[in-house]
Amino acid sequence: MTTLTIRKPDDWHVHLRDGAMLQAVARHTADHFARAIIMPNLVPPVVTRADAAAYRKRIMAALPAGSDFQPLMTLYLTEETDAADLVGAFEAGEITAVKLYPAGATTNSQSGVRNIENVYPVLERMAKAGVPLCVHGEVTDASIDIFDREAVFIDRVLDPMRRAVPGLRVVMEHVTTKDGVDYALSQAENLGATITTHHLIINRNAILAGGIRPHYYCLPVAKRELHRQALRKAATSGDRRFFLGTDSAPHIDPLKECACGCAGIFSSINTMGCLAHVFEEEGALDRLEAFVSLNGPAFYSLPANEVRVTLKKHEEPQKFPARIDTGEGAVTVFDPMFPIHWNLASEAG
Ligand code: DOR
Ligand code: ZN
């Protein structure tokens, strides 16, 4: 049996939702990760310091007894965001980052930002205080092809914004293109990029070839194979700019399996096994720790976790449920379309 012991991983982008869904999914993130950046796109969104504190309490209450999982809270940036409230929350350690959703880009993004220039004054305050901005990088212009929305966002929004507010620390969330990877690599400082597990595994054929498969639909949508290869190269390179953000985003099956299904892939249960498989395939198991446990904390100026965990490769494929039950209904688990032989075994102290 092959084993790999690494520092406990963190997830730098996850959706835990609220209510019955939160109760069902929180423990799966807490089982595998020491910390996670919690997305604020609830209905209504988490926009104020008080909202974040209240949401954090609900997350803590949903964790299994004795869990030492740490949720790292975020605020949802709107054109009405109060910079003093935001900076106060950051300085008190109540939030770790702020999330930019272009209005209309994805699930519950209606309250997001319509014109980026309207939030430049808040971004200036964030840059001064050192608050990182996590960015959903897609334009929402209906005339732009959905497969091009990330690349166009970099040119039209991200790069001008970073030039207008130098010093702002930015995370390109869930990059899905070679364009995104190349942009991150061209920047010397103040820029990180998360990559999801599923974008390392699927390309757009998974969604569309041989029938439409809604459980592989997420945003940004998976692109063609050359982009997946660029993401694999970036994630397995060990480069400090790239780190894991699973974007595990549960939706109940009826909301995925319908004429206008929701975007989101639920992967928190088998992410670590999938990643070990991918890194082994790329001959890069020795760089898995950088991607899941070291580069993220370094970007966020946090210590890496001291606890170690061991990944084990078993002879037999490991069993993961095809779906989990939640108080709201069933949620399908990400199927990587290969048998997963790896799992996260034990904490080594
Ligand atoms: O696939 C996605 N699901 N992408 C997002 O940006 C949002 C997320 C969600 O909240 O469901
Ligand atoms: Zn997300």
Per-residue pLDDT reduced to its tens digit, 263-293: 999 999 999 999 999 999 999 999 999 999 9
Token readout for 79 is 């054109």
Q: How far is the CA of 265 from the centre of ligand 1 (A)?
A: 8
Residue 1 has a pLDDT of 63
Q: How far is the CA of 298 from the centre of ligand 2 (A)?
A: 21
Q: Could you confirm whether 247 is annotated as catalytic?
A: yes
The answer to whether residues 121 and 164 touch, using CB atoms and an 8 Å cutoff, is no
Detail the DSSP E strand segments found in 18-68. 35-38
Q: Which of 178, 114, 172, 173 is nearest to 147 (CA)?
A: 178
Q: Across the chain, how many H-helices and E-strands are there?
A: 14, 14
CA distance 60 to 66: 11
Across the range 250-262, mean pLDDT stands at: 98
Residue 348 has a pLDDT of 43
Nearest residue by C-alpha to atom 4 in ligand 1: 219
**Ligand 1 site-directed mutation target among 21, 136, 172, 218, most atoms within 8 Å of CB:** 218
Q: Which atom of ligand 1 is nearest to the CA of 220?
A: 4
Ligand 1 site residues, Cβ closer than 6 angstroms: 15, 41, 106-107, 136, 218-219, 247, 249, 263-264
Is residue 310 classed exposed, middle or buried when 0-12, 13-18 and 19+ CB atoms within 10 A define those classes? middle
Residues with Cβ within 8 Å of residue 250, at least 6 apart in sequence: 15, 17, 21, 24, 25, 264, 266, 326, 331
Per-residue pLDDT reduced to its tens digit, 1-57: 699 999 999 999 999 999 999 999 999 999 999 999 999 999 999 999 999 999 999
CA distance 323 to 263: 17
The answer to whether residues 300 and 219 touch, using CB atoms and an 8 Å cutoff, is no
What Cα–Cα distance (Å) separates residue 206 from each residue in 173, 194, 216, 270, 334?
21, 21, 7, 18, 12
Q: Which of 43, 52, 50 is nearest to 71 (CA)?
A: 52
Residue 346 has a pLDDT of 57
Q: Which atom of ligand 1 is nearest to the CA of 265?
A: 1
- HEC-encoded secondary structure of 171-230: EECCCCCHHHHHHHHHCCCCEEEEECHHHHHCCCHHHHCCCCCHHHCCCCCCCCHHHHHH
Q: Which CATH superfamily is domain 10-306 in?
A: Metal-dependent hydrolases (3.20.20.140)
Among 97-106, 130-139, 159-168, name the one with the lowest average pLDDT. Answer: 97-106
- CA atoms within a 13 Å half-sphere pointing along the CA-CB vector of 151: 11
Q: How far is the CA of 288 from the centre of ligand 1 (A)?
A: 25
Residue 50 has a pLDDT of 98
Nearest residue by C-alpha to atom 3 in ligand 1: 264
Per-residue pLDDT reduced to its tens digit, 174-232: 999 999 999 999 999 999 999 999 999 999 999 999 999 999 999 999 999 999 999 99
151-180: string of b/e by CB count within 10 Å (b at 16+)?
A: bbbbeebbeebbeebeebbbbbbbbbbbbb
Q: What three-state secondary structure class fits 113?
A: strand
Please report which ligand is nearest the Cα atom of 249: 1
Q: Which of 161, 145, 229 is nearest to 195 (CA)?
A: 229
Residues of the chain with pLDDT > 70, as a percent, come to: 99
Query: Is it true that the peptide bond before 297 is cis, omega within 30 degrees of 0?
Result: no
Across the range 129-145, mean pLDDT stands at: 97
Per-residue pLDDT reduced to its tens digit, 72-86: 999 999 999 999 999
Q: How far is the CA of 218 from the centre of ligand 1 (A)?
A: 6
Please report which ligand is nearest the Cα atom of 246: 2
Domain boundaries, given as residue ranges, for the chain: 10-306
Token readout for 308 is 């170690």
97-117: string of b/e by CB count within 10 Å (b at 16+)?
A: bbbbbbeebbbbbebbbeebe
**Ligand 1 site-directed mutation target among 15, 25, 174, 268, most atoms within 8 Å of CB:** 15
Q: Which atom of ligand 1 is nearest to the CA of 251?
A: 11
Per-residue pLDDT reduced to its tens digit, 300-321: 999 999 999 999 999 999 999 9
CA distance 20 to 334: 20
Q: Which amino acid is at 241?
A: R
Q: How far is the CA of 77 from the centre of ligand 1 (A)?
A: 16
What Cα–Cα distance (Å) separates residue 217 from each residue in 126, 221, 250?
33, 6, 12
What Cα–Cα distance (Å) separates residue 149 from each residue in 36, 143, 181, 239, 332?
27, 10, 15, 25, 27
Neighbouring CB atoms inside 10 A of 291's CB total 26
Which is catalytic among the residues 10, 11, 239, 247?
247
Q: Which of 35, 107, 74 is nearest to 265 (CA)?
A: 107
248-273: string of b/e by CB count within 10 Å (b at 16+)?
A: bbbbbeebbeeeebbbbbbbbbbbbb
